[in-house]
Amino acid sequence: MPTIYPLILARHAVIAAEHYLSAAAGAQIFARGGNAIDAAVAATFVEGVVNPHMYTIGGEAPMLIYAASARKVVSINGNMMAPARATIDQYRALGVESIPGAGLLAAGVPAAFDALVTALRTFGTMSLADVLAPAHALASDGFPMHVGLAGEEHPEGDGPVAGAGASLRMNAKRFLAKWPSTARVYLPEGKVPRPGAVIKNPALANFFQRVLDSEAGAKNRGREAALDAARERFYRGDIARDIAAWSDANGGLLAESDLARFTTRIEAPVSADYRGVTVFKCAPWSQGPVFLQQLKLLEGFDLAAMRHNSTDYIHTVVEAAKLAFADREAYYGDPEFTEVPMAALLSDRYTAIRRGLIDKKRASMDQRPGDPIAMRALRDNPPASARPWGSGTIHVTAADREGNMIAVTASGGWIPSSPVIDALGFPLGTRMQTFYLDERHPNALKPGKRPRTTLSPSLAIRGNQPYLAFGTPGGDQQDQWTLQFFLNVVDFGMDLQSAIEAAKFSSAHFPSTFFPHDNHPGVLRIEERIDASVRDALAERGHKIEVKPSWSEGHVLGVQNDPTTGVLAGGADPRGQAQPVMPAQVIGW
């Protein structure tokens, strides 16, 4: 079947990103001799300039990298950290029962800058000045306003904030009344600029110049020492002081000491095999392993024989998701603070026990975590008390002919959720809203802990060669939409672009990661492109069907390597235009 976007094929390099300017930045880096990591870092910096409603440098940037020189996959823990003063007792003393989704009370240590510098230092080849040049220029000289950031014009367009990725138009009154520092940058004349108007962010450009000055000052000590100097200024120098002062002035809990002790870890990822493909995900400080648990459950079914997007197929995938996400809620958290029985959760024995809970003809309405320690299908656990996703996340993925491959899913520091820091031009992230103020929960708040995040890049190898790197915005839905994309490639033999564009669905059955952590048992969101007879049959099995517009479920970007031919492929999701978000872009050559 023809696709809306073409499949991009290349020999030397390929990059896929949310915004065409970020993809172009990556292309510039490739053209100057950079590798896939250099290009992806450059593109991610640009995303933080042109898509500030989805991600800024004040947020987080988890990533997976296949390093060709080491012939292995590594995870970069680009997740933020709770401040020392962020305790459950502190919030209770403030009368807070659940950490709010907006404002400085939810702000932790910004992680994205350190994650990007760590990736560049360890696996890249270029300087910070090289990869930051496109973002620096766009902040200083300006970029054209686009409809994804501005929002569509309609009578109710100036209402309250509506999700992390909500547009300027949806937040104009909020910014003007409550967050004037944001309004000065993004509402320069007190109103939303029209698409095509040039938006400049001189404070952000100055921030970039400050870290570049530190790198330049240490250049004579070598590339790595120069990168370290830029990082040092952010986390232990005057930039850290600016961040802490802003937090204090706006009721936050961050202190200079929190930034000073922050580090980014390079970790071993979690993995599972599925039909000859090994899939890698970040550790359970992310929701990533839930993708692997779903794969393990689904490996016991002949999905291809069910036919793509048939009643049996959708029912089976959704019921597997319910079981995997119930375990996510019961067990996942920062492994530095929470003992997560990851090996048991991914074991064949436990998977077989859990698979037996899937009723082929009836949708479950319960939250059903298992007991991987005692190897029981169910454990005694009261259900916790999903919201629709906001497009408050970006994804960048790239590959090169040397075999390097990278997937970056960056988010946080959204302008609808936290005011722009006057001196720096970006807001702080609010990821602490995902913590629970309940000591018994694996994702309970503790000082120094990293909140369980929905950010979930994916990378796969086949035959010991890099094969796929992919991801999507979408909060709790990320590891449902990317799972369907992966199954489309592996089980149904689709090419990359067809797999991305295929009609999709998602469950809202399990508790949301985000404030206020609500859930909607049995709710199945399904694109109207899926046949009405299938939707009706799913409803007869007990699913609570919510029919969604044809191009609304997902925004997947991916790259693929064919080691037998040396051909690289890239694909992007046209759903980006329907959200509205800028259409995703792929560049290859």
pLDDT per residue over 338-374, tens digit each? 999 999 999 999 999 999 999 999 999 999 999 999 9
**Confidence (pLDDT) at 581:** 36
Q: Which residues, in sequence order, are CB contacts of 100 under 8 Å at separation 6+? A: 106, 430, 433, 515
% of the chain beyond a pLDDT of 90: 84
Which phi-psi region, left, alpha or beta, contains residue 289 (left: φ > 0; alpha: ψ -120 to 50)?
A: alpha
The two beta strands, 277-281 and 63-67, are unpaired
d(CA 586, CA 570): 6
**Confidence (pLDDT) at 580:** 32
Whole-number Cα distances in Å, 356 to 53, 97, 378: 43, 37, 11
> Which residues sit opposite 410 in a β-bridge?
394
Angle of CA points 458, 405, 455, to nearest 5° = 30
Are 546 and 518 in contact, with CB atoms under 8 Å apart? no
Are 117 and 230 in contact, with CB atoms under 8 Å apart? yes
d(CA 244, CA 252): 9
- Which pTM does this prediction carry? 0.95
Whole-number Cα distances in Å, 586 to 206, 282, 295, 318, 568: 30, 24, 28, 30, 12
- In this prediction, residue 517 has a pLDDT band, given cuts at 50, 70 and 90, of confident
- pLDDT above 90 (res 205): yes
d(CA 359, CA 226): 58
**Confidence (pLDDT) at 230:** 98
d(CA 187, CA 172): 8
The stretches of 151-217 forming alpha helices (DSSP H) are: 168-178, 180-186, 202-217
Least confident of 220-234, 332-346, 390-404: 390-404
Q: Which amino acid is at 528?
A: E
% of the chain beyond a pLDDT of 70: 94
Least confident of 260-274, 373-387, 570-584: 570-584
Find the radius of gyration of the CA atoms of the chain. 22
d(CA 570, CA 250): 43
What DSSP designation does 503 have? -
Q: Which amino acid is at 223?
A: R
